[in-house]
Amino acid sequence: MRPKIRLFVDQPLGAEQSVQLSRDHAHYLFGVMRQSVGVEVALFNGIDGEWRAVVDEAGKRGGSLRCVAQSKTQDVVPDLWLLFAPIKKARTDFIVEKAAEMGVRRILPVQTEFTNAERIRQDRLQAHAVEAAEQCGNTVVAEVAPLRRLDEVLRDWDPSRQIVFCDEAEAGGSSALTGGLATCGAVLIGPEGGFSDGERARLKALDHVTTISLGPRILRADTAAVAALTLWQHGVGDWR
Q: How many CA atoms lie within 13 A of 225 on its CB side?
A: 32
Which residues between 204 and 233 bind a second copy (CB under 8 A)?
213-220, 223, 226-227, 230-231, 233
**Inter-residue contact 8 to 49 (CB < 8 Å):** no
To the nearest whole angstrom, how small is the minimum distance from the Cβ of residue 35 to a second copy? 22
**Does 240 engage in binding with a second copy (CB under 8 A)?**
yes
Q: Please pick, from the candidates 75, 134, 143, 170, the single residue that binds a second copy as defined by CB under 8 A.
A: 75
Would you say 12 or 173 has its CB closer to a second copy? 173
To the nearest whole angstrom, how small is the minimum distance from the Cβ of residue 71 to a second copy? 15
Would you say 55 or 188 has its CB closer to a second copy? 188
- With H, G, I as helix, E, B as strand and everything else as coil, classify residue 204: helix
Which residues between 155 and 184 bind a second copy (CB under 8 A)?
173-175, 177
Would you say 201 or 218 has its CB closer to a second copy? 218
* Residue 5 to residue 31: CA distance in whole angstroms: 13
Stretch that binds a second copy, among 34-42, 53-61, 132-140, 181-189 (CB under 8 A): 132-140
**Inter-residue contact 65 to 74 (CB < 8 Å):** no
To the nearest whole angstrom, how small is the minimum distance from the Cβ of residue 42 to a second copy? 14
Q: Please pick, from the candidates 33, 47, 136, 169, the single residue that binds a second copy as defined by CB under 8 A.
A: 136
**Does 34 engage in binding with a second copy (CB under 8 A)?**
no
* Residue 50 to residue 6: CA distance in whole angstroms: 9
Print the binding letters for residues 77-106 with a second copy: x by CB under 8 A, - otherwise: ---------------------x--xxx---
**Does 50 engage in binding with a second copy (CB under 8 A)?**
no
To the nearest whole angstrom, how small is the minimum distance from the Cβ of residue 43 to a second copy? 18
Alpha helices in the chain, H assignment, sequence order: 23-26, 89-101, 122-136, 150-155, 197-204, 221-235
Helices 89-101, 122-136: inter-axial angle, 10-degree rounding = 40
- φ, ψ (nearest 5 deg) of residue 61: -110, 0
Nearest Cα neighbor of 29 from 65, 71, 69 is 65
* Residue 157 to residue 171: CA distance in whole angstroms: 26
Site residues (CB under 8 A) for a second copy?
75, 98, 101-103, 135-138, 173-175, 177, 213-220, 223, 226-227, 230-231, 233-234, 237-240
